Amino acid sequence: MKKVVIIGAVGGGATVAGQLRFYDSDMHIVVFDRDSTMSYAACGTPYVIGNVIQDEQSIIMTTPEKFKKKRDVTVKLHHEVLMINRDAKTVLVKNMITGEQFEEPYDTLILAPGGSAIIPKIEGLDSSKVFTLRNFEDMQRIDHYIKSEKPKSCIVSGGGFIGLEMAENLKNLGLEVSLVHKSPTIMSILDTDMSLLIEKELAIHDVKLLTGTMIEKTDGTNIKLSNDIELQADFIIMSVGLKPNTTLAEKAGLAIGETGGIKANEFMQTNDPSIYAIGDASENFDLVTGDPKRVPLASPAHRQAFIVARHITGDKIAKTGLLGTSVLKVFSLTAAMTGLNERTIKEKNISYATVVHNGNSNAGYYPEHSNITLKVHYDPKTRKLLGAQCVGGKGVDKRIDVIVTAIYGGLTIDDLQALELCYAPPYSSPKDPINMIGYKAIAK
């Protein structure tokens, strides 16, 4: 009987365990994780803190007991894997509650260790109340602090996905929120003009935004920024970035790629064919350019889990590359994106042209409609789609989803005008914004 050991029991780890059992009813599967909770919806944690999701248990998809009963998979929480012995095909595991250490043999090993929040070295940081949000326990700590201590103000350091979601949810709880971001504009994966639309939304909702600066020094509730501005805040949410958890892989001599993730081939195998790597800590490749790419998001992790499960059970399905498709809610706005942004295109010296369409989400005469801005980059010679961004009210996500499908299907910018998309006044217009991008590109 083949034995598979999985390190990590959240998105990628839990999914690959379930997939393996689906395709092989006899395989022996064991999963180890340091945390106290498995298979929870990490993307939902800001909304539990914001009381949008009122039952924190609702974001837990399963428990070790339920997983064992339903899938016949053994999950051991509070267990840390300390070392991989590739020659003996064993892992050294520590029970974090008892301190006991033991060796667990494997035929195949899957690494899904995720990533850790980066906490920069800041003078006096230990004197302040500082939180990160990377797991279920982090969420519980923040939630308990807010409910028990009833703070009035917060500084969110970092204007990426977690930072913006936390800023919104904390503001909705009635806190005074300041958002500090090192780069000149927030959401650095967006083009500057698109980021500015989100910054305007933050201002409307009274989130104090300070860009081009970072926390330099703290003294309790006194926070000094690198531009000499001083702020007061009861606590800090640190969301400046994610470091892939690759220490275990590095100690085992597994190759680390140029993005800092564990290097994996088209089947998610490392340089040791009996060891796979998936999720936040794995390095993949960009669908558009073919260059190394690491995307710490849920959708790629789930896709990688499927690829690994099929490969282990005898069906070779190669990955097709990553676009980094993502979506974000910021108060009444939605921002979505896929593929290359303008900065990356310029850095890689790719020839490009851009079409922007400002219009309504659906018929302007219909009572419920909103403005959306859709921006698409493409190669002017091949007409190949390079990337797209959309910011606005309703319907933003579906426009980006269409672009994603077009890229995967090999359509050109000109093909967009011919797509027969859904139309009725509550949903779109006879010429959808996607069609308009195509028409404008042809006119160009």
Query: 154 catalytic, yes or no?
Result: no
Residues in the chain, overall count: 444
Q: How far is CA 314 from CA 32, 264, 311, in A?
A: 24, 18, 5
The CA-based angle 224-230-234, given to 5 degrees, is 80
Give yes or no for a contact between 324 and 34, defined as CB atoms under 8 angstroms apart. no
Q: What contacts 228, CB < 8 A, 6 or more positions away?
A: none
Specify the amino acid at residue 348: K
Angle at CA of residue 183, ends 182 and 184, nearest 5°: 125
Instruction: Give the DSSP H/E element, type plus range, for residue 335.
Output: strand 333-339
Range list of β-strands (E), 239-281: 242-244, 262-263, 275-277
Phi, psi of 433 (to 5 degrees): -50, -35
Nearest to 81 by CA among 143, 187, 137, 5: 5
What are the residue ranges of helices labelled H in 2-122? Answer: 11-23, 45-49, 64-71
Select which of 43, 154, 390, 422 is catalytic: 43
Catalytic residues: 43
